[in-house]
Homo-oligomer: A and B are copies of this chain.
Amino acid sequence: MPTIVVDVMPKAELLDPQGKATTGALHRLGHGSFENVRIGKRFEFTIEGEVTDAVLAEVRKVADEILSNSVIEDVVAISVDGVAAEVR
């Protein structure tokens, strides 16, 4: 069964407190080479049947309207079985 992956990240221009705390913790633990860390979400959809354009359109709609909060987050990538279907 094909897998569709949707990646959602906090908008680049906004502060990411979770990532900021992780960056600070990594630096305190001696991992200073990481300039910055941002933390987002990864959704894996399992689809029955083929991935048609209609299915992809539905995934895009769901990603924009339900899985992400467009005020603070961006859908950065949608991929099917590891191949980028669409990047905005």
Per the bound structure, the CA–CA distance linking A9 and B42 in Å amounts to: 8
Contact of A31 among B8, B35, B37, B62 (CB under 8 A): B62
Are A43 and B33 in contact (CB-based, < 8 A)? no
Are B1 and A42 in contact (CB-based, < 8 A)? no
Are A44 and B40 in contact (CB-based, < 8 A)? yes
Q: Is A20 an interface residue (CB 8 A)?
A: no
Q: State which size class the interface on A falls in.
A: 20 to 34
Q: A42-B39, A42-B42 are contacts. A47–B29 as well, Cβ < 8 Å? A: no
Per the bound structure, the CA–CA distance linking A38 and B43 in Å amounts to: 6
Q: List 15 A-B contacts (CB under 8 A).
A: A1-B35, A26-B66, A29-B66, A31-B62, A33-B55, A33-B58, A34-B47, A35-B45, A35-B46, A38-B44, A39-B42, A40-B41, A40-B43, A40-B44, A41-B42
